[in-house]
Structure 1
């Protein structure tokens, strides 16, 4: 089984890249963030032609999440139960015996912004919900753009980023709280080269200099962690003309014993 996540920063713009990538990588499940598409515009037919079922929750211009799967998606959940939030940031479904969750975590803007408080409250609500999901389903994968670089090694220059969103202590504590419910960072289950990132600013030659952050993650429950064979960031799509500012993250798993 191969699971993947990708913040495409507009599916309308990036659809040809996504279709080509699906044909090359052939993941069993792909979680998408920042689709920025209203539901009636979602490219269901184009994805079905490649053999993918789709569940999606979108809005115009901002946010938007989707799950693409080779097997049918069942028990689809839009949003976080009990959380009043009009932003389309959460989508969950069961496929192939795995409960997959797609998250697009709020950015937070700045530490003194109301959006930062919203982010922390949002993450707390998501943690409480996911704790129940892990207990009920057992085999769970939480994928997406978390807008949190968990450790200094996930930041190209911790000194330059000190005091900013994405790296603050409360955000990192919220990320660790997700791990505390029994989730594991798939990339950190395996030896990795230094300076592995998933997001690079469009300007200042950031990609060429590898001035990036690792903010896109695949978190898996204990059973899936034991089956995880590898996890990588595919930087290839970031080099395309008109790319997303994020690269896909992929994790592969052995078949259950």
Structure 2
């Protein structure tokens, strides 16, 4: 087997392994989709009329709920990665001469596929609640690209957080900031309607340009500035997560 194909084969094996774990605990995907859907229902039907967003509230809120779907699917990844590091399975992989990168890549790809399922569920419920998009096929493709980039970046960061934690229990808690960030962004209300301090944080944190980019693409009014900022944040987060996870893996494995 060539030096290029061996890591790819190892990564596919690790991906199948992660899928089997997910199949045995399907509640992981269920929870990742259920919580954003519940939040979408609450904000649309309970709080929607209280917010002045200048458009139909479901159209405004859905991009933020997509970010929540991404965030809520990360906790199980951190726990799974940490379990691999703390329960000795990595030592078995070393004996079998499994590519180190394949272990990490398997977790990242499995996380992205889980996010894809939960995101599709949230978008489907959004259409059922009255969401209507004026986006062209190209703009929908752009929105899918932004979602994929966000999932890729947050997956690598979560892998790094999971390996840096001491126990599986603490690993699950490391993703709490990623779950909370969408609430302190433009996901629920425009950032300019927030109070001093919170408004500035919401405007400059990474999830706001991602949400605004999705909002523009899905409503047929894309913003090149927000999209460029979103992709730049995703690239930076992915790079930090990748380098951090590889360094931690090399040190602890």
| Structure with greater helix percent | 2
**TM, length-normalised to structure 2:** 0.28
Higher RCO structure, 1 or 2 (CA under 8 Å, sep 6+): 2
- Bigger strand fraction: 1
With the length of structure 1 as denominator, give the TM-score of the two structures.
0.28
Flag the structure with larger Rg.
2
